[in-house]
Structure 1
Amino acid sequence: MRKVAGMKLTNRLVAFVTLIVVCAMFVLFIGGAVSFRKLGADFLEHYLNNVVTEIDDAISNPKPDETIGHWLPRVLKASDVVEMEIRSKTGLLFRYEQIQTAGRPLDLIEHRYVLPNNPGFFVTIKSVPPYANFAYSIGAMSSLSLAVLVIVLALSWGIRWLRQQLLGAELLEDRGRLILAGRAEEVKTGDDREWPATASIALDQMIAELKDARQERSRFDTFLRSNTFLDKLTGAANRVMFDNRLQTVLQDKGAQGAVLMLQIADWDGLVQEQGKSGADEWVKEVGAILSNAILRFPDAILARYYDADFAILLTHQSAKDARLFASQLMKALERLSAPAPLEKEDWAYLGMTFFSAGERRGRLMEEAEMAKRSAVLQGSSSWFAFKKDVVAEDARGSVRWRTLLSRVLESGGPDLYRQVVKDVQGEELHTELLARIRDENGLIIKASRFMNGVDLVGMNTALDRAVIKKAMNQLRNGDGRETLSVNVCAESLRQRKFQYWLRDTLLQTPRSMLNRLQIEISEAPLVQHLDAVRPTLKMVRALGCPVVVDQAGRSVVSTYYLKDIQPKYVKFHRSLMRDIHQRPENQLYVRSMLGACEPTKTEVLAVGVETAQEWQTLIQLGIQGGQGRLFGAELSANPAAKKRQRWLKK
């Protein structure tokens, strides 16, 4: 894989040009210094040759009135000769030596000459080197100094000109670095100064096409998921999604609730009288009433089960609350003006049955169908509940929930159970902390049940604070290698006080610990409140805590949030993993999510994996990790609970 160059193109060229100019100046300086030295040595050699010639003439033709001892010392002193000796085979004839010398003895240059006119005579001269007594002078070296100054000015101007000419290439390179960093949206349109212009225009076109392709991919993925799990006409869930969710709820320990089946009477007559479009409009109107009615139940699911039948799943609701909801729902439907040929007060029939954990889905749907038929026999848009024993109804109101949650928070917060998450090689990725509370009788209540009460009394923020504090204590007291993941409500992330508290808490925590703390948020609330929670999640990521999106696929939403918050992991809802090797529609959903995450660094994890067949199918689909009973059960972090769990295993 090619690596990005660390040095910019402009800096490279500037460094190259500067190095070439400096090297040329250095070579010129060395050459000039050598030339000056050689000229000085040649001049001194020529001058001393003349002096030796005079000495040779004086010795060969002596004059009585002018002896060597009279005129030679003055000449030698003017010539900076320090020592001179005239010798012959018989011995020393003449010696000259200056008392004060300008140069050091080690710096003197020695010359030896043979007198041609006087065989057997030779002269030895020690003189000061050329330019030994000269220092740098601006006047004397003005031409050289001016040349150096001109070169420096020309170099600076040339570098500035080169930078201006290559500014476009540098802008293009900076843009490429941002694209490689995943910030293509910030530079989707290039600067007019970018060069080469063809490359800049090509990048503009490619980014625009990539953006359209991503949006089209997102729309296509949403279309696939919608057609797989949603009804095209009403936008509610279809039969496949309803059955998946119901099957998952029935396998949860302690689950309870109700299944409601609503039938529109005389559907065939309505289609003949009003036409297909008129009947569809009536179905959409009824679906809107049902959608508004279930809004107060966070986990409720509305599905168009058949052409004229709607199914509603109420989870973690008591029989009393379910009956009250059925009565209110029928009153809301009575206010609609039924089109012909439907009778105004006899067109809707509602059947209801109750369930608890462990029951069969097929049996429940049969009970709901039987209850609906009983309602049809009663007539007058009535509803009927299937008579069966309801196990352990829990009709908690807001007062009881507030009392229980207040007691839990006063005692230090909920208990945190741990479940490991592993990758396809079996290596541990992180450990998810699951909140559990105990009721007045000591029975453990899962988050899927008590979160309804938390939303009812508005204690999301207090609960999330307690969970985060406990998670940080475990990280602080742990071995320093474990990564923990905690669930946080989107409602809490919207609160200004909670945002400030979370920011201050994370700022006071070491970076090494923050890298081992992951914040999980459910997909549906995240998409619903994306604009409100986006700044908080970006702040969390900037401080070092990875973001995880869980319960993906619980409802069909757009996956465009992947680009906004850039989560580290996306976890599927457990209802999609149940018997996935036998459900092609669930496999299609998984492939769609994997395709949406492919352009990003987000990895996709499966939750609720319980069998090896499910895991093998997920690996073949391309999943990056899994969580469930196949990899490890939920274990309490409480030492006393751990001891009891080991005893139960034995």
Structure 2
Amino acid sequence: MKLTRLLTRKLTGFWLLSLAAVAFIFLLTALVSFAQLTYKFQQQKVSEIESMLVHHYEHDSDRDLSSWLPSILAAYKASKFQLLENGQVVYEYQADAADKGHVTYESVLIKDRHLKLSMTLPQPFQMYDLSWYELLILSGGIISVAFFVRFGHQWLSVQLVGIEDLAARSKLILNNEYEQALAEKGHGKPRMINRALTHMLLELDDAQKQRARFDQFIRSNTFLDPETGIGNRLFLKNRLDALSNDRGMMAPGVMFLLEMEDLDLLQQEVADESIDALLLQTINDINQILDTQANSIFARRSYNQFAIVVPQISLKDAEKLAVKLLKVCLSQALPTTQNSDDFYHIGVAYFKVGESKEQLLDESERALRAAQFQGSSGWFMYDKGAVDEEFAKGSVRWRSFLEYALVNRRLVVFSQPVVDSDMETHHFEISSRIRDNQDNLIRATLYIPMAIKCGLTPQFERQVIETVLFDLLNDRSDTTTRYSVNLSLDTLLSRAFIRWLKTTLLEYRHLTSRLIFEVNEDIVVHHREQLKDHLDMIRKMGASLCVDRVGQEVVSTQYIQECHFDLIKLHRSIVRQIHLRQENQLFVRSLIGGLYRTDVQVFADGVESFEEWQTLKILGVSAGQGSIFSDPIEEI
């Protein structure tokens, strides 16, 4: 833009200088022509006097010169006149007043008689005065030239402003800011080029939306059940893989297996429309219950069997949730041919950290069979005495403990590197744990659900950010290391936290560029309008934005560009054994292809093997994070 404005000023300056030069040359030429013309007129007058004197001496020598010559010399405004013959003055004329600036003409009239003439006249152009009419015409011409020059300058400036608008839109396009370029249509000229840019931007925007819809279509056909719209068996397998590693499940939780007894036989008795309506209504009601459970999984295992996995939930809350699910199922209107008293059966298996997903599925199926043996609709929990004692604490004890940890700053910060394809550390992701009075560390998967339940999440995440700013980024010898911090929904919707964050980022704006704030994809998709202003504020302060757990749900990726995220992290379910799963590779290819020509970088979370990392790099993933590089390391 600066170059365009500079060229515009140079062009207008050159144009004005050219016009001024033309006007100057025109006036100079007119002045020279006027001087030459008056000089030529004066020479003609001198030639007329010479002719009259020659005629006098050749044909009318008896007549006295004083009788006719003085009047002619006075008419010509001659100041001095001498006529010499053989060196003797024959006639002499002297004007009363002699003015400055004269021209003297000398010539030989008759060579035989040595008759010479010497006459002094005023400067030719001094003999002519401009009249008021001539002055009026000259002034009008100068004013007209000035007016047209001014009008031309304004017209050219307007035309060049249109070119500057085109240059501004072009710069936005080159910076991949397509939405802003489309919003600033301006008054670019030539208008045809401006309209062409607008048309191309609209086509590009539509193509991006089509690409996002195509990505969603691919993911839907890969991971969704076509009849119900929830996850399929492959989706459930991927999500369970994401919740576990080689050492088993990474967080406690519960798994429900819901089976509708003899649904296939019922389909033969009633119309397919009735069965579809029953399934959709049941699924919608269950989804409303699961909306309150973060990171819950709902998938269809077979025609009449559904799986629900809720991580980070206590045993007491799992029992309450089982009662709610059964109540919702029993409230459904079944066909008159079917008795609801023995139609819905729910098997419940509670799992803790370290248990295998195979064991979990086996215990869930055993619990389902036990529920079916009861002879009526109901639920049954597989009891193996494996409830995590720490997680079974009451809410009152948890609140007291968490408030004590906040006041006494018992929060312990861990960092895990995110490594790029050159094995260089891109940034460190920050996680936290709490140290209790017995000097034991309570993992985040245990205390965060209770912090959310007690409404203390913003305070904990604020303390994490303060630790990063005041301790980790305070090392003056290190000015390049970056850190990422996770923000939850409760934190982003807290007005007090947002005000504090805005003030803190302004105060430490020299460190803001080294901060990355991560938000879950599920939060962004379902609360985009509520979070858009807050995320935009963080980005304008200079920090980077990252959306993690991408691929956890089947949603359109259009939000990535709408919310201007800088980084995205693939969910563990996509990364786990990706070298063996073509459908996950297809998703990653489609996602990266949709982000072509943007500055968004794609990272992977949960990389645990060399084969996974090699496959991710081949697919175009920029960096990875996981146990293959380093486990979380305690910082403070």
The bucket for the TM-score relative to the shorter chain is 0.7 to 0.9
Structure-1 residue corresponding to 2:527: 529
- 8 A contact 2:486–2:517 mirrored in 1: yes
Question: Equivalents in 1 of 2:553, 2:577: separation in Å?
Answer: 19
Q: CA deviation at 1:605?
A: 1.0
> Structure 1 161/339 Cα, relative in aligned 2: closer, same or farther at 3 Å?
same
Describe the SS at the equivalent of 1:213: helix
Q: 2:365 aligns with which of 362, 369, 375?
A: 369
Question: Equivalents in 2 of 1:4, 1:278: separation in Å?
Answer: 68
Q: 1:223 aligns with which of 213, 217, 230?
A: 217
Trace 1:617-636 onto structure 2 (pairs within 5 A): 617-636=615-634
Question: Equivalents in 2 of 1:42, 1:516: separation in Å?
Answer: 85
Question: Equivalents in 2 of 1:301, 1:208: separation in Å?
Answer: 37
Q: Report whether the alignment pairs 1:266 with 2:262.
A: yes
Residues 199-244 of structure 1: per-residue CA shift (max 9 Å, x gap): 4554454344333322222222122222222223333322222222
Question: Equivalents in 2 of 1:203, 1:450: separation in Å?
Answer: 53
Trace 1:121-160 onto structure 2 (pairs within 5 A): 147-160=141-154
RMSD: 4.6
Q: CA deviation at 1:188?
A: 6.5
Question: Equivalents in 2 of 1:45, 1:487: separation in Å?
Answer: 100
Q: Report whether the alignment pairs 1:244 with 2:238.
A: yes
Q: 1:256 aligns with which of 252, 262, 270?
A: 252
Residues 505-537 of structure 1: per-residue CA shift (max 9 Å, x gap): 222223x32222222211111121111111111
Q: 1:314 aligns with which of 310, 321, 345?
A: 310
> Structure 1 78/42 Cα, relative in aligned 2: closer, same or farther at 3 Å?
farther
> Structure 1 139/434 Cα, relative in aligned 2: closer, same or farther at 3 Å?
farther
Identity within the alignment, %: 32
Residues 356-390 of structure 1: per-residue CA shift (max 9 Å, x gap): 33333223212222222222222212333334341
Structure-2 residue corresponding to 1:100: none
Q: Report whether the alignment pairs 1:517 with 2:512.
A: no
Residues 166-198 of structure 1: per-residue CA shift (max 9 Å, x gap): 77666656555555562447746967x765555
Structure-2 residue corresponding to 1:449: 446
Question: Equivalents in 2 of 1:32, 1:457: separation in Å?
Answer: 94
> Structure 1 350/159 Cα, relative in aligned 2: closer, same or farther at 3 Å?
same
Q: 1:427 aligns with which of 410, 424, 448?
A: 424
Structure-2 residue corresponding to 1:214: 208
Question: Equivalents in 2 of 1:166, 1:313: separation in Å?
Answer: 63
Question: Equivalents in 1 of 2:135, 2:11: separation in Å?
Answer: 32
Residues 391-429 of structure 1: per-residue CA shift (max 9 Å, x gap): 633213322222222122212363221122232233332
Q: 1:384 aligns with which of 373, 380, 394?
A: 380
Q: CA deviation at 1:613?
A: 0.8
Trace 1:243-642 onto structure 2 (pairs within 5 A): 243-251=237-245, 255-390=251-386, 392-393=388-389, 394-412=391-409, 414-473=411-470, 474-478=472-476, 479-510=478-509, 512-638=510-636
Question: Equivalents in 1 of 2:423, 2:232: separation in Å?
Answer: 36
Question: Equivalents in 2 of 1:337, 1:522: separation in Å?
Answer: 37
Question: Equivalents in 2 of 1:451, 1:33: separation in Å?
Answer: 93
Amino acid at match of 1:611: S
Give the number of aligned pairs.
599
> Structure 1 249/629 Cα, relative in aligned 2: closer, same or farther at 3 Å?
same
Describe the SS at the equivalent of 2:243: helix
Structure-2 residue corresponding to 1:89: none
Question: Equivalents in 2 of 1:509, 1:524: separation in Å?
Answer: 30
Amino acid at match of 1:224: I
Amino acid at match of 1:247: D
> Structure 1 364/598 Cα, relative in aligned 2: closer, same or farther at 3 Å?
same
> Structure 1 490/22 Cα, relative in aligned 2: closer, same or farther at 3 Å?
farther
- 8 A contact 1:338–1:347 mirrored in 2: no
Amino acid at match of 2:217: F
Q: Which moved more, 1:305-314 or 1:223-232?
A: 223-232
- 8 A contact 1:273–1:340 mirrored in 2: no
Q: CA deviation at 1:254?
A: 5.4
Structure-2 residue corresponding to 1:91: none
Describe the SS at the equivalent of 2:23: helix
- 8 A contact 1:371–1:386 mirrored in 2: yes
Q: TM-score, normalised by structure 1?
A: 0.78
> Structure 1 448/4 Cα, relative in aligned 2: closer, same or farther at 3 Å?
farther
Residues 20-51 of structure 1: per-residue CA shift (max 9 Å, x gap): 202323444666787899999999999xxx99
- 8 A contact 1:231–1:304 mirrored in 2: yes
> Structure 1 33/62 Cα, relative in aligned 2: closer, same or farther at 3 Å?
closer
Q: Which moved more, 1:513-522 or 1:29-38?
A: 29-38
Describe the SS at the equivalent of 1:471: helix
Question: Equivalents in 2 of 1:603, 1:270: separation in Å?
Answer: 50
Structure-1 residue corresponding to 2:17: 19
- 8 A contact 1:347–1:380 mirrored in 2: yes
Describe the SS at the equivalent of 2:20: helix
Question: Equivalents in 2 of 1:488, 1:413: separation in Å?
Answer: 19
Question: Equivalents in 1 of 2:369, 2:228: separation in Å?
Answer: 24
Q: Which moved more, 1:199-208 or 1:288-297?
A: 199-208
Question: Equivalents in 2 of 1:152, 1:454: separation in Å?
Answer: 77
Question: Equivalents in 1 of 2:425, 2:34: separation in Å?
Answer: 77
Question: Equivalents in 2 of 1:574, 1:298: separation in Å?
Answer: 16
Question: Equivalents in 1 of 2:384, 2:581: separation in Å?
Answer: 31
Question: Equivalents in 1 of 2:299, 2:437: separation in Å?
Answer: 36
Describe the SS at the equivalent of 1:227: helix
Structure 1 alignment gaps of length 5 or more: 82-110, 118-128, 132-137, 639-650
Describe the SS at the equivalent of 1:241: helix
Q: CA deviation at 1:566?
A: 0.6
Question: Equivalents in 2 of 1:519, 1:300: separation in Å?
Answer: 23
Structure-2 residue corresponding to 1:121: none
Amino acid at match of 1:244: N
Question: Equivalents in 2 of 1:7, 1:163: separation in Å?
Answer: 11
Amino acid at match of 2:520: S
Question: Equivalents in 2 of 1:419, 1:497: separation in Å?
Answer: 29
Question: Equivalents in 2 of 1:488, 1:237: separation in Å?
Answer: 26
Question: Equivalents in 2 of 1:535, 1:406: separation in Å?
Answer: 30
Question: Equivalents in 1 of 2:150, 2:291: separation in Å?
Answer: 71
> Structure 1 292/79 Cα, relative in aligned 2: closer, same or farther at 3 Å?
closer
Q: CA deviation at 1:503?
A: 2.0
Describe the SS at the equivalent of 1:342: coil
Question: Equivalents in 2 of 1:237, 1:602: separation in Å?
Answer: 28
